[in-house]
Structure 1
Amino acid sequence: MPQFTVELNVNGAASDVWALLTDDAFLEDLYRNRLQYVQWSVTERLTAPEGDLIRRVALIPPMNAPAPVRKLLGSGFRETEESRFDDKQLVWSWRRIPSTMADKIKEEGRVRVEAVPDGSSRLVAETTIECKVFGVGGLMESTAEKHSRHDWETLGEALRLRLAADAS
């Protein structure tokens, strides 16, 4: 079960990074145009009584996976992402629920944004991936980790570009 952390240095204040991470239009542009997801759409967004932001998103990721993984997941593969931003702890928790084998595939994580002394920020994304599928679980986990790392790096690039544009 891979557990990994990606740290991204971002050229903006933590509050500006959080503003973008909770901006549905920014994230839709990221997923649809930069990451080539077929679908990224918010199906539910609400504020909990304690102030937390709760969001549910329908996703259809690009199927850039080895043939055995694509065959196992099927052509209609999609995911639902359930997430919660704790505005007191400043932590975003999320989990993805696949349309296929939801009892065997787990992908979840937490995101923090830390202030850096120079006025920039560091986004820290902790991810856990687990695929309990006989024979191909390891291949599925390594493929999912590769895609997840790519998605985080692309997010970091998009944040840096947007924050630089907003600062000028």
Structure 2
Amino acid sequence: MKLVHRAIIGPGGDAGQAALSTIAGRTRAVSAGRTRAVVGRGVAGAIDPATTTRRRAPRRRRAPVQHGSARCPVSSSDGADSTSAPASIVVCRHAPLQGSRSRTGEGERMIQIEARHLIHCDEDTFWELFFSPEVNERIYRDVLKFASFEVLEDREDERSRVRKASGQPRVHALPAAIQSMLGPSFRYIEDSVFDKATRRWSFTMAPSLMSDRLRNAGALRVEPSGLGQVTRVACATIEAKIFGLGRALEGIMEKEMRAGWDDSAAFLNRWIAEHPTPAAAS
């Protein structure tokens, strides 16, 4: 810049000074024009929060999900069909031969299961075997693999037969989390009543721990199914109110009960074949 200044001013100072003034004026004019242009763009593009309303893009609302929108007819008590129950909460009224499963109660917390098995004897023989100490010992020890099963009380009158028993089922086959929760000494107390008028056996099982969170109750009856045989109908209600493990434990309890019913029915039919009654032998 000093070299340019000297070249313009040079030895003839007045002429060079005039030229320098002209260049400086043009430079200031150009700079001023650019400044105005920049400022003009800034003002035009600026947002004054005091006078400008901020707008947000409208949110897209999701359509509500219709849970259980499918409807299925459910037989009511008077025989008429109703469509007031969703398909996911249909309770089976008439169970198939092998078994059924449904959820019931508030929030579908409890499950109800039912199983049917053909037993090759008449009704009187069935109940005789059902209460037989020898048959019960073989079923619980050899078939169900219980660590122990003991009848604590067994009394009857003209109306009913009452039994209290203590059982210690196997837990080694359960998942590790449930094994640690139940412990190795887990057992239950069974309170049951056989109604002689209706020939129906009902039971409740009280576990040795978490009795307020675990529920297992049910009933058993037989139906005539031709000459010399009956259908054993067993049903149960299962509930496990344990956060994070309730559904899993209910599924395990259901699986174990179904397996026990299947195995005990097979054992009874083998026992009957190996120990024929005098009427059947003749």
Task: Give the structure-2-normalised TM-score.
Answer: 0.58
Q: 1:151 is matched with which residue: 260, 263, 280?
A: 260
Q: Which amino acid aligns with 2:210?
A: M
Distance 1:141 1:102 in 2: 14
The structure with more strand, counted as a fraction of residues: 1
Runs of 4+, deviation exceeding 2 Å: none
- Work out the number of aligned pairs and report it: 167
Which residue pairs with 2:17 in the alignment?
none
Distance 1:103 1:75 in 2: 20
Of 157-166 and 84-93, deviating more is: 157-166
Shift of 1:111: 0.2
Give the alignment of 1:4-15 within 5 angstroms. 4-15=113-124
Q: State whether structure 2 residue 174 is matched by structure 1 residue 58.
A: no
Gaps of 5+ in 1: none
Give the alignment of 1:1-168 within 5 angstroms. 1-48=110-157, 50-63=158-171, 64-167=173-276
Distance 2:160 2:256 in 1: 28
Distance 1:22 1:52 in 2: 13
Q: Which amino acid aligns with 1:115?
A: P
Shift of 1:67: 1.1
Q: Which amino acid aligns with 2:170?
A: P
How well do the aligned residues superpose, as a CA RMSD in angstroms?
Answer: 1.1
SS at match of 1:95: strand
Task: Give the structure-1-normalised TM-score.
Answer: 0.95
Residues 26-79 of structure 1 show CA distances to partners (whole Å, capped at 9, x for unaligned) of 11211011111001010111114x431111111110112111111111222111
Distance 2:265 2:136 in 1: 12
Shift of 1:129: 0.6
Distance 1:121 1:24 in 2: 21
Q: Which amino acid aligns with 2:169?
A: P
Shift of 1:22: 1.3
Q: Which amino acid aligns with 1:121?
A: V
Q: Which amino acid aligns with 1:78?
A: R
Distance 2:160 2:212 in 1: 27
SS at match of 2:269: helix
